[in-house]
Structure 1
Amino acid sequence: MIRLDRFLANSGIGTRAEVKKLVKQKQVKVNGKSIKSPNQKLKDTDQVMVNNQIVSALVDRYFMFNKPTGVITATRDAKHQTFLHYFREEVHVEKLVAAGRLDKDTTGLLVVTDDGQFVHEIIHPSKKVPKIYQAVIDGQLTESDKELFGQGMQFKDFTAQPAQVKTVKLLPQNQSIIEVTIHEGKYHQVKRMFEQVKKPVLQLHRVQIGQLQLDERLKPGEYRDLTDEELIMLKTK
C-alpha cells in the first residue's frame, strides 16, 4: 500500500510538505472522510479527494524489490507467480512493470515502476547501464576464463559485450562466488557466459544496477520506495 502523502505528491498535488499542510487544513478526504495524518496507507479501492476534487492520477512510482527465487518478472503468467503478487496492495498495480528481467530462479535487485521511459533508460543496451551479479559457480575461474569474459562472447543469437569478473570467495567442493558485471541483459546471458567456460552457474543474485545497490535490509519478497537520492543515481547512471 502507498502512503497518502506519496500518492498525492506523485499525482502532482504538491510536495510532501505541502500535502501535510493540506491535510492539516482538512482539505484532504479519503472515502468522504477528512484525514488527520498524511501517513495513512491507501487501499486500491480508496477514493482520494482534495478540495472536493477526485485525485485519480498516479504517475512515476519507483520501487526497489528483492526478488525471491521461483518468481517471474512478467506481469501475467498462468502457471507461475509473478512479481506483481508482492505489489497487489499498491494502487493501480496493473500499471507497474519491471525494469528488466530476472530469470525465475535468479534472485535480488529488481526495479519496479510505472515510468516507461525510465525503464528504457535502464534496460536498453545502448545505455550501457552496468548490472552486477554474484554467481555461485561449479569450478574456479582461470585467467584464461577472465580474458574471455573481458573480450566479449559470441553466441548464435547475439554478441555479449565485454564483461568484468572477479572471484569473491572460494567455496568447498570446488565452487566459487564470482562477481560479474554486464552492460546488457539478454536471455540467460550470465548463465550462458559461464557455460562458455564450462563453469555452470548454481545460484545467481543481482546486487546492483548502475550505482543503485540492493538494500540488504530487504528480505526476499520485500520492497520499498526508492529514495530521491537513489532515483537521481539511477537517472544519472
Structure 2
Amino acid sequence: MRIDKVIETQLHTSRKEMKRLFAKGLVQIDGEIMRNQSFNVDSHLHCLTVDGQVVEWYERYWLMNKPAGYVTANHDKVVPTIFDLFATDDLVAGLYAVGRLDRDTEGLVLVTTNGPLGYQLLHPTKKVDKKYSVRVNARLTEKDVQAFSEGIVFHGGTRCLPAQLLLKSCHDQESEAEVVLSEGKFHQVKKMFLACGKKVTFLKRISFGPLELKTLPVGEYRSLTKHELEALRPFMEGGN
C-alpha cells in the first residue's frame, strides 16, 4: 500500500499535515527518512514510524488452490466465487484475487489486500512466469514444443510471446504437459493448444512467479510464508 495512504488511513491525517510530515523528515521506513509519498510499504516487510510513533497496519496474503466450478470475482449472482470458501473472519475489506482463472480451471490464486502488488505482478513489462499443468485430447509432439517456443499465433494474427511446453506423457487420445507463460491473454492456454489442433480437457495453475502450489489441497488456502513474502518484495517495491 502507498505510504501516504497508510498514514491517512491509520492516523487520519489531512493532506496539509501529510506534506508537513514528509517535508520535516518525520516519516521513516526502517529507521531511514522517507520523502517519497507514493512509496509502497508492506506491514510484513517494513517498519513505519511517523514523528516517532510506530504505525501499525496489516496486509493479508493468502495462497489458494482454487477448485473447478468457482470464479475468482469478489461477487457473482449466478456461480460460486472463491471467496465463498473463505472463513468469515478472513474476509476483510479490500481483499481481491490477483488475476483470474477460468471457472473450469483449478490451481494457484494469490488473494491479498495489497493492490500495488497485484498491479506489479500482472503488468506486461514484468513478464512474471506462470506454470500450468495441462491435459489435452490428442498426442503432443516436438512440433508443438517448437510452435510454443516460437510464439503461437491465434486466428486473427495475434502472436503470443514464446512459451515453454514441457511434455510429460504423450498418447494418441490424451497427453499431459506443463506450460510456462510470461503473459496472460484471455483463455490463453486453451487457445494456444487449439491453435495446434488440440483441446484442453484439464488445466491447473501450479506456480505464479515465486509462489508454488505444491501439496495444498484443492479448495483450501493458507497464509504466505515469510520466505514467500521476501520473494515478492521486488514486486511490492516495484512501483517505488
Which TM-score applies when normalising by structure 2? 0.70
Task: Give how far 1:88 is off.
Answer: 4.3
Query: Matches of 1:185 and 1:225 in 2, distance apart?
Result: 24
Residue 227 (structure 1) aligns with? 225
1:153–1:159 Cα contact (<8 Å) kept = yes
1:160 maps to 160
How many residues are matched?
A: 181
Who is 1:122 aligned against?
A: 121
CA deviation map 1:54-104 (0-9, x unaligned):
xxx854211110000000011111101111111241345341111111000
Runs of at least 5 residues in structure 1 that lack an aligned partner in the other structure: 1-10, 13-56
* Alignment-derived partner of residue 31 in structure 2: none
TM-score of the two chains, using structure 1 as the length reference: 0.70
Residue 69 of structure 2: aligned partner: 70
CA contact (8 A) 1:72 1:80 kept: yes
What is the CA–CA distance in structure 1 between the aligned matches of 2:74 and 2:140, rounded to whole Å?
Answer: 36
Residues 153 and 195, structure 2, Cα contact 8 Å, conserved in 1: no
Q: Which runs of 5+ in 2 are unaligned?
A: 1-8, 11-55, 236-240
Matched residue type, 2:160: A
- CA gap of 1:86–1:122, structure 2 versus 1, over 3 A, is same
Paired residue secondary structure (2:169): strand
RMSD: 2.2
The answer on 1:112 being equivalent to 2:114 is no
Aligned mates of 1:97, 1:90 — CA distance in 2: 15
Q: Does the 8 Å contact 1:66/1:214 carry over to 2?
A: yes
Q: Distance in 1 between matches of 2:70 and 2:91?
A: 21
1:159 Cα offset (Å): 2.9
Give me the whole-angstrom Cα distance separating, in 2, the residues matched to 1:157 and 1:235. 37
How much identity, in percent, do the aligned residues show? 39
Is 1:150 aligned with 2:146? no
1:203 Cα shift?
0.2
Distance 2:177 2:83 in 1: 30
What letter matches 2:73 in structure 1?
A
Q: How far did 1:152 drift? A: 1.1
Q: Which residue of 2 aligns with 1:21?
A: none
Q: After the TM superposition, which of the residue ranges 161-170 and 199-208 deviates more from structure 2?
A: 161-170
Distance 1:177 1:234, change over 3 A: farther
Q: Retained in 2: the 8 A contact 1:87–1:93?
A: no
Please say if residues 59 and 114 of structure 1, whose CA atoms lie closer than 8 Å, have aligned partners that are also in contact. Answer: no
Distance (whole Å) between structure 1 residues aligned to residue 188 and residue 111 of structure 2: 21
- Give distance in 2, aligned partners of 1:236 and 1:191: 30
- From the superposition, tell whether residues 81 and 231 of structure 1 become closer, same or farther in structure 2 (CA, over 3 Å): same
Q: CA deviation at 1:125?
A: 1.8
